[in-house]
Amino acid sequence: MLLSLAAVILGLALLVWSADRFVEGASATAHNLGVSTLIIGITIIGFGTSAPEILISIISVIEDTPNLAIGNALGSNIANIGLILGITALILPLGVASKLIRREYPILMAATLLLGYLLWDRWLDQLDGILLIAALLLAMGYLVWYSLRDEGDAMEAELEQEIPHMTTGRALGWTLVGLLFLIGSSKLLVWGAVNIATAMGISELVIGLTIVAIGTSLPELAASIAGVRKGEPDLVIGNVIGSNLFNSLAVIGVPALMTDFDVASEAVYRDLPIMVVLTVLLMLLSFLPPGCCKLTRFKGLLLLAGFVSYQALLYYLYTQGQLA
């Protein structure tokens, strides 16, 4: 048990470090090649922030524990909205000035509903995987097209400050190093998480929803707090929406492409509705009352309360021996 716990802690630490190196290297490489800052933010940074979850999902399927990937995706989305945006908005209200982000909200809602529809029969196959990945490509294609035709978005200046400046050779080197460590740390984390789930008598789904999901979201929490302090509210919200979009479509779509599998009923009837409700709540709070595009401290408190209530529910079910 201690060895498995150490593997999870070390795996998470390496996952955080390697994901940062991968994103920095890939972003700098693309920037040096003349790629638009907004496109880098939409594609490379959007993918990079979800790279740990995507690799964990791939390793989970290889290790024959696909519901760990389901739990990681749903739990990460819940943590991103409730924990990250909740705490960040409590520190400083988050205004939404970027028109690009406003267009991402309905896309995220559509992706969430598509995921819910495909999960509802508790079965994922290759056709479902194709639909999810196709939806991701369409969403990314639309956002890239919009960013090219509508220059001067408010988020562009914020992104420009976050892209590191380094030579192309060094950037490629960090990209490769980050990717290799991402693969190794993901495998280590999945191994430790599965062993802990077995020892505690709970499912891989629950480990994915809690330890893995919260662990992979903590770096984004730190980055969001730093972003608020630097006066980058659009980037904070954009990172969360982009991460949730990749989690909903890629983190679950990739395992479905690799193999067919049953989805745990608890994920569909307990965790999925909570993720949908939080996503809807985020949209409503962001644009209500009309004309107010801001997450105030009170709204942040509501989001955080939703996350804490969900964790309390999981703990209660665990104490009652009903957590699966």
- CA 302, CA 184: separation in Å to the nearest integer? 37
Region 2-319: CATH code: 1.20.1420.30
Asked if 286 and 102 touch (Cβ cutoff 8 Å), the reply is no
Structure confidence by residue, pLDDT tens digits, 169-181: 888 888 888 888 8
Asked if 303 and 282 touch (Cβ cutoff 8 Å), the reply is yes
Instruction: Please count the residues of the chain.
Output: 324
- What is the separation, in whole angstroms, between the first and last Cα of the chain? 20
β-pairing verdict for 294-295 and 94-95: antiparallel
3-state secondary structure of 17: helix
Closest CA to 284 of 303, 310, 307: 303
| DSSP-assigned letter for residue 152 | S
Structure tokens at 32: 């040096």
Average pLDDT over the chain reads 84
**What values do phi and psi take at 295, rounded to 5?**
-95, 105
3-state secondary structure of 95: strand
Confidence at residue 175, expressed as pLDDT on a 0 to 100 scale:
84
- CA 299, CA 307: separation in Å to the nearest integer? 13
Structure tokens at 128: 């479902």
Confidence at residue 151, expressed as pLDDT on a 0 to 100 scale:
64
Structure tokens at 122: 């508790």
Question: Which helix (H) or strand (E) is 277 found in, with range?
Answer: helix 272-287
Asked if 261 and 255 touch (Cβ cutoff 8 Å), the reply is yes
Classify the phi-psi angles of 35: left when phi > 0, otherwise alpha if psi is within -120 to 50, otherwise beta. Answer: beta
Asked if 77 and 212 touch (Cβ cutoff 8 Å), the reply is no
Q: Pick out the chain residues at pLDDT < 50.
A: none
Structure tokens at 85: 């945006």
- CA 73, CA 77: separation in Å to the nearest integer? 6
Classify the phi-psi angles of 321: left when phi > 0, otherwise alpha if psi is within -120 to 50, otherwise beta. Answer: left
Contacts of 160 (CB under 8 A, 6+ apart): 37
